[in-house]
Amino acid sequence: MPDLEFRSADARFRVHVPGVTVRRLLHLCRSSGTRETGGILVGGYSAMLDCARVSAASGPPTDSVRGPSWFQRGTRGLQAWLERRWASRGDHYLGEWHFHPYAPPAPSNTDLQQLGRIARTVDYHCPEPILLIIGGDPAGKWLISAHVVPRGQAAIPLQRFQNPAEPDLVTRSYGSD
């Protein structure tokens, strides 16, 4: 699985997701079956602070609730997981991810409102949270979308960046893993 990179149209925002993390997300989606699932994204920023580098994604906390077309992420165990990631790797909270089984990876108004609240909540220390959504069939044809929601602004969709040196990257990352 190749790494994925997303960019805003003005290149102000970038997100890098390693292939190993994409594989983990797809595994969590497959394990969820026909119910939505999700978790949080952690990592760091490039030296120029223009690229969020995802290093890991949590699974759904045990107190999460979900159904075929909705997901409410719980919090049980997340603080301890975040503290371990911070202590061992210096990882920060970067945002959220979730799965739309057999549906497009388009964010709902609820998704975007949640990210807006996160951006405004000082305790998150994340004024520009990221939202990754995986849609479709994680064992077959799937898609992934990325958005950033800067504090006090509307969500900004990020487009997949394809390295010209890897012509089949889009097919490989948007198809089966």
Q: Which residues are catalytic?
A: 36
Neighbours of 139 (CB within 10 A): 12
Residue length of the chain: 177
Helix (H) or strand (E) holding 124: none
Cα distance from N-terminal residue to C-terminal residue, the chain = 6
Q: Which two tokens stand for residue 109?
A: 């108004």
Q: Which two tokens stand for residue 128?
A: 């520009």
**Which runs of consecutive H residues, i.e. helices, occur in the chain?**
19-32, 78-89, 109-120, 169-174
